[in-house]
């Protein structure tokens, strides 16, 4: 008798939570990256009727990683009081790191290797790891190994003054030397994205985020963080949203990355941000057995990378059709979108490519454009320009918001898209069970 193979497990988004997202150097400046990740993960576990012993695996994204945490996710397991037997791994895919954590969790669940996974990410741009120049680092290692004082001193002898200053991680591509902002500027020029359209997108991001706080939609996905220094206080809200901004104020800002001819400003870019976000994923069967209702199921996902010397942040224009094909859907089937806003120029470039028949034909080998998205479907609770963008956490923020908003609007299908350094684009498609 032929055996029918069991139907594969479906990965479900059961719950998600984030910290407030705050400007680097502000409310969380004294916190350590692990403290922030722990705060949100413990709170998420407390709010979810789930015995921590049920957690099979933890996957966490982080980009500017402090050297003392060789595996931040495992430290999170130990700090959050999860069973010491819980394996954990830290992933990095630049701004899409938490997407990687969530799709890795999906793979574990779909293969039947795990029933419950916590996936998420954290970034503390207030406390980036500052390193030494390679000559100084080599000299110090060699001095520490020398046996005599003379040997120690001679290890340091070849150093130049220029070797002494500390080196901060650059938000720049190793292969091209261009920063993200310079790449966004290049995309604006190549695609003819106008300054007023970028500012309009930024304005919309702030107004939608402010409205989502006002009507309580963001309360369900943001947990206060208690900061113990300076007498202690609860940080409960995002602090970058500018509800009073206007097109006039945005238009008055000077371009940052090309001062003479540029269009990318502090107003239409995402800011440097601290924050963390965690998501509980489960197999749909496990959720059912625990009496939990999944907010959404992962339908498909895709990654695609482009040459970083071209349009660095255009990856989602390739990853989105790939994920749609894998889901057996078209862009017209998508009810809601969470599109990471690294820069307004990058969002508008991506939308332009999705609408372009020429792009479809020349780059994707398709006869028709991927499709046109109604801007009203995109980022209904505001996007990274207003909310902020802690690199490691943004993907988990997007997945949580999308799942919540899909439930609120009774949407069938939703799409997350995130662009990342290295020219990588990520797309995840969710469906409501």
- Residues facing 226 on adjacent strands: 234
269 lies in the site for ligand COA, by CB under 6 A: yes
| CA-CA-CA-CA torsion sign (212, 96, 36, 283) | positive
The DSSP line for 151-208 is HHHHHHTT--GGG-S-BPPPSB-TTT--BHHHHHHHHHHHHT--HHHHHHHHHHHHHH
233 lies in the site for ligand COA, by CB under 6 A: no
Q: Are 424 and 315 in contact (CB under 8 A)?
A: yes
339 lies in the site for ligand COA, by CB under 6 A: no
342 lies in the site for ligand COA, by CB under 6 A: yes
Which pair of structure tokens corresponds to residue 200?
Answer: 């309009």
Provide, for the chain, the percentages of residues in helix, strand and coil under a 3-state DSSP scheme, each rounded to the nearest 5. 40, 20, 40
Kindly indicate which of the ranges 26-34, 217-225, 242-250, 358-366 contains the residues binding ligand COA, using the contact rule CB under 6 A. 242-250
Toward ligand COA, which CB reaches closer, 245 or 300?
245
In the residue annotation, 99 being an active-site residue is answered as no
The only residue of 16, 181, 294, 316 in contact with ligand COA, by rule CB under 6 A: 181
Torsion angles phi and psi, residue 305, rounded to 5? -120, 145
* Residues 32, 30: Cα–Cα separation, whole Å: 7
Which pair of structure tokens corresponds to residue 306?
Answer: 């482009």
In eight-state DSSP terms, residue 294 is P
306 lies in the site for ligand COA, by CB under 6 A: no
Q: Which of 421, 416, 395, 398 is nearest to 305 (CA)?
A: 421
The only residue of 16, 61, 262, 271 in contact with ligand COA, by rule CB under 6 A: 271
Kindly indicate which of the ranges 57-65, 73-81, 265-273, 371-379 contains the residues binding ligand COA, using the contact rule CB under 6 A. 265-273
Toward ligand COA, which CB reaches closer, 75 or 123?
123
Q: How far is CA 287 from the centre of its chain?
A: 25
11 lies in the site for ligand COA, by CB under 6 A: no
Convert residues 48-87 into a mask of x (bound to ligand COA by CB under 6 A) and - (unbound): ----------------------------------------
The only residue of 48, 100, 245, 400 in contact with ligand COA, by rule CB under 6 A: 245
Judged by CB under 6 A, how many residues of this single chain contact ligand COA?
19
In the residue annotation, 398 being an active-site residue is answered as no
Which pair of structure tokens corresponds to residue 165?
Answer: 């200053």
Kindly indicate which of the ranges 14-22, 38-46, 249-257, 350-358 contains the residues binding ligand COA, using the contact rule CB under 6 A. 249-257
The only residue of 137, 153, 247, 266 in contact with ligand COA, by rule CB under 6 A: 266
Which pair of structure tokens corresponds to residue 421?
Answer: 């350094």
In the residue annotation, 95 being an active-site residue is answered as yes
Catalytic option among 206, 240, 389, 398: 389
In eight-state DSSP terms, residue 314 is -
Which pair of structure tokens corresponds to residue 233?
Answer: 């206080």
205 lies in the site for ligand COA, by CB under 6 A: no
Toward ligand COA, which CB reaches closer, 139 or 250?
250
Residue located via tokens 């997007």:
398
Toward ligand COA, which CB reaches closer, 84 or 254?
254
- Residues facing 69 on adjacent strands: none
Distances (CA, A) of 281 to 15, 18, 400, 413: 7, 15, 11, 18
Toward ligand COA, which CB reaches closer, 139 or 313?
313
Torsion angles phi and psi, residue 57, rounded to 5? -165, 150
Residues annotated as part of the active site? 95, 389, 419
Using CB under 6 A, list all residues that contact ligand COA. Answer: 95, 171, 180-181, 202, 242, 245, 249-250, 253, 256, 266-267, 269-272, 342, 389
């Amino acid at each position: 008798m032929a055996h029918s193979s069991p139907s594969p497990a479906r990965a479900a988004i059961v719950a998600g939570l984030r910290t407030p997202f705050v400007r680097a150097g502000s409310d969380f400046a004294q916190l350590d990256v692990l403290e922030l990740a722990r705060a949100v993960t413990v709170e998420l576990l407390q709010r979810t009727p789930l015995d921590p012993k049920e957690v099979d695996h933890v996957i966490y994204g982080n980009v500017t990683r402090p050297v003392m945490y060789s595996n931040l996710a495992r430290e999170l397991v130990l700090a959050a009081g999860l069973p010491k037997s819980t394996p954990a791994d830290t992933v990095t895919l630049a701004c899409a790191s938490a997407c990687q954590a969530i799709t890795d969790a999906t793979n574990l669940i779909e293969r039947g290797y795990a029933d419950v996974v916590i996936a998420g990410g954290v970034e503390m741009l207030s406390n980036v790891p500052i390193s030494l120049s390679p000559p100084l680092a080599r000299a110090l290692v060699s001095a520490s190994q020398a046996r005599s004082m003379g040997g120690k001193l001679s290890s340091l002898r070849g150093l130049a003054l220029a070797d002494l200053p500390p080196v901060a991680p650059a938000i720049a591509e190793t292969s091209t030397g261009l920063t993200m902002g310079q790449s966004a500027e290049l995309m604006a020029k190549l695609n003819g994205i106008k300054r007023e359209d970028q500012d309009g997108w930024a304005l919309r991001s702030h107004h939608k985020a402010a409205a989502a706080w006002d009507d309580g939609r963001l309360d369900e996905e943001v947990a206060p963080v208690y900061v113990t220094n300076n007498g202690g206080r609860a940080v409960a809200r995002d602090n970058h949203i500018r509800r009073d901004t206007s097109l006039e104020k945005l238009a008055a800002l000077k371009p940052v990355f090309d001062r003479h001819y540029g269009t990318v400003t502090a107003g239409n870019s995402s800011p440097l941000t601290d924050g963390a976000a965690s998501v509980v994923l489960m197999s749909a069967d496990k959720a059912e057995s625990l009496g939990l209702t999944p907010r959404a199921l992962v339908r498909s996902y895709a990654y695609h990378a482009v040459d970083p010397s071209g349009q660095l942040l255009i990856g989602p224009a390739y990853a989105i059709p790939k994920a749609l094909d894998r889901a057996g859907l078209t862009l017209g089937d998508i009810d809601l979108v969470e599109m990471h806003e690294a820069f307004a120029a990058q969002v508008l470039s991506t939308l332009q490519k999705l609408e372009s028949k020429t792009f479809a034909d020349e780059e994707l080998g398709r006869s028709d454009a991927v499709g046109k998205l109604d801007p009203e479907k995109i980022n209904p609770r505001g996007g990274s320009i207003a909310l902020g963008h802690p690199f490691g956490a943004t993907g988990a923020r997007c997945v949580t918001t999308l799942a919540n908003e899909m439930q609120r609007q009774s949407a069938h299908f939703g799409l997350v898209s995130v662009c990342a350094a290295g020219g990588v684009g990520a797309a995840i498609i969710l469906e409501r069970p």
